[in-house]
């Protein structure tokens, strides 16, 4: 999806996507333009429902954040995107692998690529929903 940078500050960049959604990206000293653009790509909006009738919640539905019975494990489901996020290697692990790759050692980044591919294969785009025990 195309996007446009609409504001640049010393610690963040605001971008607007072609669907009129936007994101605020934290930026750190030392980041390259490519790294910031990768952040923008990773923040791109995900597909939405085709119609309101497909959305699995209704106006008037209620819950209680302090009552675990209002969201029982058996009824909680996760999209393919949430399943992937729950199973991808952590940010610290990925950043460390990228650092080692810049230092000339690509062993960890190749191992992470294999793990990420396995997660993507297990939870293909637009699949699911998945129950907690399937994550």
Work out the average pLDDT over 123-130: 90
Q: Is the pTM above the cut of 0.85?
A: no
More confident residue, 67 or 59: 59
**Interval 88-94 mean pLDDT:** 86
Domains held by the chain: number: 2
Residue-level pLDDT at 128: 85
Q: Do the domain assignments include residue 61? A: no
* 66 pLDDT above the threshold of 50: yes
Is pLDDT of 119 > 70? yes
Evaluate if residue 87 carries a pLDDT over 50: yes
In a domain, residue 59? The reply is: no
Q: Give mean pLDDT, residues 78-96.
A: 88
Q: Which residues pair with 17 in a beta bridge?
A: 3
Give the per-residue SS3 of the chain: CCEEEEEECCCEEEEEECCCCEEEEECCCCCCHHHHHHHHHHCCCCCCCCCHHHCCCCCCCCCCCCCHHHHCCCCCEECHHHHHHHHCCCHHHHHHHHHHHHCCCCHHHHHHHHHHHHHHHHCCCCCCCEEHHHC
Domain assignment of residue 93, yes or no:
yes
| C-alpha to C-alpha distance for 72 and 107, rounded to whole angstroms | 41
Average pLDDT over the chain, rounded to whole? 87
- 50 within a domain of the structure (yes/no): no
Q: Edge-to-edge, what's the strand order for the sheet holding 3-8?
A: 3-8, 12-17, 22-26
Per residue in 21-57, pLDDT (tens digit) is: 888 998 899 989 998 988 888 888 877 888 888 989 9
77 and 126 co-located in one domain: yes
Q: Which range marks the domain in which residue 118 is found?
A: 73-135
Omega prior to 32 cis, within 30 of 0: no
């Amino acid at each position: 999806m195309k996007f446009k940078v609409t504001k640049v500050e010393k610690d963040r960049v605001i971008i607007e996507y072609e669907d009129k959604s936007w994101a605020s990206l934290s930026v750190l000293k030392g980041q390259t333009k490519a790294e910031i653009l990768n952040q923008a790509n990773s923040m791109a909006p995900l597909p939405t429902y085709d119609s309101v009738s497909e959305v699995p919640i209704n106006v008037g539905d209620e819950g209680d954040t302090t009552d675990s019975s209002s969201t029982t494990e058996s009824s909680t489901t996760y999209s393919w995107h949430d399943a992937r996020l729950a199973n991808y290697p952590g940010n610290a692990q990925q950043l460390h692998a990228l650092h080692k790759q810049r230092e000339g050692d690509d062993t960890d980044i190749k191992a992470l690529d294999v793990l990420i591919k396995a997660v993507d294969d297990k939870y293909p785009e637009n699949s699911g929903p998945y129950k907690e025990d399937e994550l």
